[in-house]
Amino acid sequence: MARRHFPDMLLGLAPILMLIALWQVIVWSGTAPVALLPSPFSVFARFSAQLLRPEFHHEIAATLMRLFAGFAIAVVLGVSIGLAAAVKPVVDAVVKPLVRILAPVPKVALYPALLLTLGFDHASKISLVAADALFPILLATYYGASMVEQKLIWSAMAAGTPRAQIIWKIVLPASLPSILTGCRIGLVISSIVVFLAEMITSTDGLGHMLVQAARTFQTVDMFVPLITISLLGLILNAALHLLRRYLLKGFAEI
C-alpha cells in the first residue's frame, strides 16, 4: 500500500513546490515590492525563528486551548443530541425543526451577541467555535444513528441487553464511522473559526498575531500565523485520521 502511494505523494508535492517557486520568481523579478510580498525564504526563516520563541508558543497554546475546548463541547453536545434525536421520536420532533432553522444561520453573525453576553474573554470565542462545529457533528451522528441496522439492535436485545443500554452498546459504536466523519469536518471548522474570532477581537492567539502584524504592515509576520494554522490543521487532521483507523478497524471502508 505505502509503496503505491509514494509517486502520488511526489505528484501532490509538485503544485505546492511550484506555487512556492512562482512566489519566489515574482519576488526576484521585482514586480511586487517586498513590503507587499516578502520572499518565501524570509517567511520560512521567520517561521522557524518564531518556533523557538516562548511567546509564540504562548500564542499557539492560546489558540489550541480555545479550539479544543470549543470542539470538545461540540462533540459532546452533537453526539448526545444526535443520538437522542435518532432514537427518541419526542426529542426528534423538537430537535429537527431547531436544527433546520439554526444550521444555515451564519454563526459568526452571532459573535457580537456572544461578546455582549459572555464578555470579551475566552468564553465567547469558545462558544462560537462550539456553535459552528456543533451542527456537522450533530447531523452526522443523527444520520449515522438512524441508519443502524435493525437486526444489530435485535441481536443485542435477544442476548439480554436492557433497552436503556442499547444506545451505548450498539447504536453508538455502529454509528461511529459517520460520527467521526462529522468530527473531521467539525475539527476543520473549529480551527478556522477560532482563528477568525481571534482576528475580530482578541489579545492573544494566532489570529491576533495576524491582525497585529497587519496593523504595523509587517508582511513577513502576517504569513507566519497563516502557515502555522495550516500546519496545525494538517497535524490535527492526521491525528484524527489515525484515531479513526484505530477505532474503525472492524468497519469495511475507511
Partner 1 sequence: MIAVENVSHRFETSGRQSHLALDDITLEITDGAFVSILGPSGCGKSTLLYIIGGFVKPTGGVARVQGRAITGPGPDRGPVFQEFALFPWKTVLGNVMYGPRQQRIPRAEAEVQVRRLIDMVGLKGYENFYPKELSGGMKQRVAIARTLAYNPSVLLMDEPFGALDAHTRTRLQNDLLNIWERDRKTVLFVTHAVDEAVFLSDKVIVMTRSPGRIKTIIDIDLPRPRKRAELLLDARYQNYVVAIERLIDDTGIDEAAR
Partner 2 sequence: MMWLSRLLTPLAPLLACIGLLCVWQAASLALDTGSFPTALEALRAIPDILGDRGSLINILASLRRMAIGLALAVLIAIPLGLLMGRSRNVAAFFNPLLMVIYPVPKAALMPVIMLWLGVGDVSKTLVIFLGVSLPIIYHSFQGARAVEEKMLWSGAAMGMSASRRMLRIVLPAALPEILTGCRTGLVLALITMITSEMIARQSGAGNILFNAMDMAQYDTVFAMILIVGAMGIILDAAFERLRAMLVRWSDAGRAIPLSYS
Residues that bind partner 2 (CB under 8 A): 7-9, 11-16, 19, 32, 36-37, 93, 96-98, 100-113, 115-117, 132, 135-136, 139-140, 143, 182, 185, 188-189, 191-193, 195-196, 199-200, 207, 210-211, 214, 217, 219, 222-223, 226, 229-230, 232-234, 236-237
Q: Is 161 in the site for partner 1 (CB under 8 A)?
A: yes
**Which DSSP letter does residue 249 get?**
T
Min dist CB 243 to partner 2, Å, is 17
In the region spanning residues 123 to 152, those forming contacts with partner 1, defined by CB under 8 A, are 149, 151-152
Q: Which of 64, 102, 157, 192 binds partner 1 (CB under 8 A)?
A: 157
Q: Which of 129, 176, 179, 193 binds partner 1 (CB under 8 A)?
A: 176
Q: Is 89 in the site for partner 1 (CB under 8 A)?
A: no
Q: Which does 33 bind (CB under 5 to 8 A by kind): partner 1, partner 2, none?
A: none
Using the minimum distance from each CB to partner 2, give the nearer residue, 76 or 231. Answer: 231
35 CB burial (10 A radius; 0-12, 13-18, 19+): exposed
164 CB contacts (<8 Å, ≥6 apart)?
none
135 CB contacts (<8 Å, ≥6 apart)?
78, 99, 102, 103
Contact in structure between 166 and 153 (CB atoms under 8 Å): yes
125 CB contacts (<8 Å, ≥6 apart)?
66, 70, 194, 197, 198, 202
CA-closest candidate to residue 71, choices 184, 238, 177: 184
Which amino acid, one-letter code, is at 96? K
Q: Can you give the binding site for partner 1, defined by CB under 8 A?
A: 149, 151-152, 154-161, 170, 173-174, 176, 248-252
